[in-house]
Structure 1
Amino acid sequence: MRMISAVRHFIPITATTLIYYHLNLKEVTFHLYLVPNDCTIRKAINDEEKMSQFIRINKPPPVDSLYIGSRYIVSCSKKLEIIPKELELCYRSPGESQLFSEIYVGHMGSGIKLKIRDKKHMNLIWEALLKPGDLRPTSPMSAETHKDAPALQHFLDQHREQLVARVTSVDPLLDKLHGLVLNEEDYEAVRAEATNQGKMRKLFSLSRSWTRANKDQVYQALKETHPHLIRELHEKSSSISLGS
């Protein structure tokens, strides 16, 4: 598909939608993906969303075939924050970040209807009704025994030692975090350390004040600057889980 980009708009493919939610008290955040129906891409998205404690909701996928490179508009039956409102159906490798729309809902009420339309012709290509009954108050993992408790840890907490030892390009990582997780003072303090390991230790020393959203931002920056390392650590976690 990458090699024949000139004609990709004319090649229909089977696509799927993936919806995940995170319930925090009465507030709900949804992540909506429109991606090629590829099992490796679905697994990569599932793994990443699970690390952030997002839970998938099963809804039917689009019925008709769609086109790589085409753009689609996400809308809702209620006036909600949808960022971004436009998604491109593109083929990214499982190791890359996949595109999604984030939808914030202050109160579910009787439910909301999501729709995706073809931007060019505004044809309806997919819709789904999200009901309060689709949302479980807690993650299924919370009911597991204590031996599974480490799975509730954030990726950064699980792999802190490996990240300190093996992240080699710290300055590009800090540049991505500057203004998001790090203020100017913290940014300069981390950069002042003489070695990469020293910088990573200093960065993690600041994590006591991070929210889970902050940790998600650090994880995303690590995934962009050190994709092979993050993929390897994910695979190691999966093999340990299966072995137990």
Structure 2
Amino acid sequence: MEKEKNTVKIPKPGPETSLPMKSWYKIETKKENEYFFSTIKPERLKLRYRPVKYSEVYIKNAQDDFELHLINEENKSVWDAEIHAEEYEKRSSFPDTRRGISKQYAVWFLSKHREALIQRVSLVNPIADDLFPLIGREKYNVIRKGPTTEEQMRNIYSFLEGGHEIQERFY
């Protein structure tokens, strides 16, 4: 559902104090201390013991930083978060080059998480299959012949020097 709606999940720290259960809350948006147009669904949420569902916040033409405020039944803010434009432009839950991820972000992400990706990726062959049009048969075979998934991932990383297009595709 997230992928279909082209949404972005932006993790933020929770409230500093506990919130009373079975109480109603609503979310408001502000920009530079002034309310601005947004559509928030559902309009109100009841805090329950079961796992939290998500709220949908739609900001038309959101190009600037803005704030989210969780408002209690007494109309007081009990939690605030600032959302930066860079977060919803780059932090898609489902990265996709059609969404316009920046080349710099892809390069940064791959560099920052290199060791974790090498250690944790277990399905390397589908990645190699996806990279095939950019790397060709020879490099593709080198990747596939790696004796372990770690070695296969190291081989992929060795071929990422081929430019931003291959790094974006890998990302």
Instruction: Specify the TM-score bucket, using the shorter chain as the normaliser.
Output: 0.3 to 0.5
Instruction: Give the TM-score normalised by structure 2.
Output: 0.46
Instruction: Give the TM-score normalised by structure 1.
Output: 0.33
Higher strand content, 1 or 2: 1
